[in-house]
Amino acid sequence: MTPTGLEVSPFFTLVWWVTAIGIVVAAWSVVFLRDVLKAALALIGSFLGVAGMFVMLNAEFLAAIQVLLYAGAISILIIFAVLLTRDVFRGNPSNRFERLAFFLAGALMFFLTFVIIATPWGQLKDAQLSPEAQAGVAQVFSNTTPIIGQLLVQEYVLPFEVASVLLLAAILGAIVLVREE
């Protein structure tokens, strides 16, 4: 099932590997860079990489949100926080569970990889689709933004509404928590 057929091209493969390695290196930098500010910048890089991945998965709308919200808004917030707390000078030290945490993350990575490889995804992926269905799939993935918009206000209107209430709660909370007495 390759609706766009791009996956098979060596160019796509190359771009994917570059982006993937970029994401991992950036994420690695977030946790290992000595300078918190640089770590924050690495985080932005990682976010941008993920946005690239979204593009490669035919999710342009998500890529846009990713860039605007994550690489834009949240990163700015984080950088503000880093600067406001003036803890930049203390570097980015690890705690005494560092090694344990590392082994744990490694074990998790191992299990995840095992699960991903051991699960016969092919059995799920390669189910026979009629030509009409295949065409329908290709059409959906050719232009996702309007469909997502439709989904959000129709089928997923309930979580959409709830999310708005959630944001209200978060705003209220943030105000309460930082308000000076």
Partner 1 sequence: MLAPIGLEHFLVLSGALFSIGLYGALAKKNAVVVLMSIELMFNAVNVAVVAFSRYIAPATTAQLPDTARFLLTGQVFAVFVITVAAAEVALGLALVLAIYRLRATVHVTEMNLMKQ
Partner 2 sequence: MSEAAAWLVLFLPLASFLIISLVIRPFFNRYSQWAGYLTILAIGGALVLSLMALKATTGHEGPIGWDPHSWITVGSFNLRLGIYMNSLTAIMLVVVSGVSLMVQVYSQGYMKGDPGYARYFAFMSLFTASMLGLVLASNVVMLYAFWELVGLCSYLLIGFWYHRPAAAAAAKKAFIVTRLGDFGFLLAILYLFFHQGAIAGQGLNSLEIPDIYRAVQTGLLGTAVLTWLGLGIFAGAVGKSAQFPLHVWLPDAMEGPTPVSALIHAATMVAAGVFLVARFFPIFEAAPATLRLVAVIGGATAVFAATMGMVMNDIKRVVAYSTISQLGYMMLGLGVAGLAVAREGHVTAEVARAAVAIGIFHLFNHAFFKALLFLGSGSVNHATGTVDMRLMGGLRKVMPWTYITFVIAGLSLAGVWPLAGFWSKDEILAVALKEQPVLFALALLTVFMTAFYIFRVVFLTFCGEYRGGAPGEHGHDAHAHGKPHESPPVMVVPMVILSVLAVISGFWNVNGAFSVFMGEGQTKGFFEGFFGILAHPLPWIAMIVAGLGIFLAYLMYGSKRISAERMGERFKPIYTLFYRKYYFDELYENLFVRRSLVNGLFAGFQKFDTNVVDGAVNGLANVTVATGKGVRRWQTGQLQLYGLFMGIGIVVIVLVLLFAG
Partner 3 sequence: MDFLALTPEWSLAAFAIAVILLSLFVRDRLVLALFSLAGVIVSAAVAIGFATWLSGSAMVVFGNMLVVDSFALFFKLLFLGIAALLILASLDYAPKFAESQGEYFALVLLSTLGMMLMAATTELIAIYVALELTSISLYVLVGFLKEPKASEAALKYLLLGAVASAVLLFGMAMVFGFTGQTKLGDIVLAILRLAPDNSGASPALIFGVVLLVAGFGFKIASVPFQMWVPDVYEGAPTPVTGYLSVASKAAGFAVVLRVFYSAFIVPDWVAVDWGMLFAVLAAISMTVGNVVALPQTNIKRMLGYSSIAQAGYLMVGVATVGLAPATDIVGRSSILFFLAGYALANLGAFIAIIAVSNQTNSDLIADYSGMGKRAPLLSLALTLSLVSLIGMPPAAGFIGKFYIFSGAVQHGLLWLVIIAVINSVVSAYYYMRVVKVMWFGEPASAEKVPSSAALKLALTLTTLGVLFIGIVPGYLMRLAQAASNIFVF
Which residues in the 75-94 window bind partner 1 by CB under 8 A? 77-78, 80-82, 84-85, 87, 90, 92-94
Give the span between the Cα atoms of 118 and 107, in whole angstroms: 16
Amino acid identity at 14:
L
Decide: helix, strand or coil at residue 37: helix
- Per CB under 8 A, does 101 bind partner 2? yes
13-52: contacts with partner 1 (CB under 8 A): 13-14, 16-17, 20, 23-24, 27-28, 30-31, 36, 39-40, 43, 46-47, 50
Asked if 58 and 4 touch (Cβ cutoff 8 Å), the reply is yes
Contacted by 50, from partner 3, partner 1, partner 2, none: CB < 5 to 8 Å by type: partner 1
Chosen residue from 18, 151, 153, 157 binding partner 1 by CB under 8 A: 151
| 8 A C-beta contact, residue 122 and residue 1 | no
Two structure tokens written together for 131:
């030509």
Rg value, the chain, Cα:
21
Residue with tokens 């996702």: 144
Token pair in block for residue 137: 């799939």
Instruction: Give the one residue of 142, 157, 161, 173 binding partner 1; rule: CB under 8 A.
Output: 173
What does DSSP assign to residue 90? G
φ, ψ (nearest 5 deg) of residue 51: -60, -40
Of 77, 104, 151, 163, the one binding partner 2 by CB under 8 A: 104
Task: Please pick, from the candidates 28, 80, 111, 156, the single residue that binds partner 2 as defined by CB under 8 A.
Answer: 111
> By the criterion CB under 8 A, which residues form the site for partner 2?
95, 97, 100-101, 104-105, 107-108, 111, 114-115
Binding site residues, partner 3, CB under 8 A: 111-112, 114-116, 118-121, 123-124, 154-159, 162-163, 165-166, 168-170, 172-173, 175-177, 179, 181
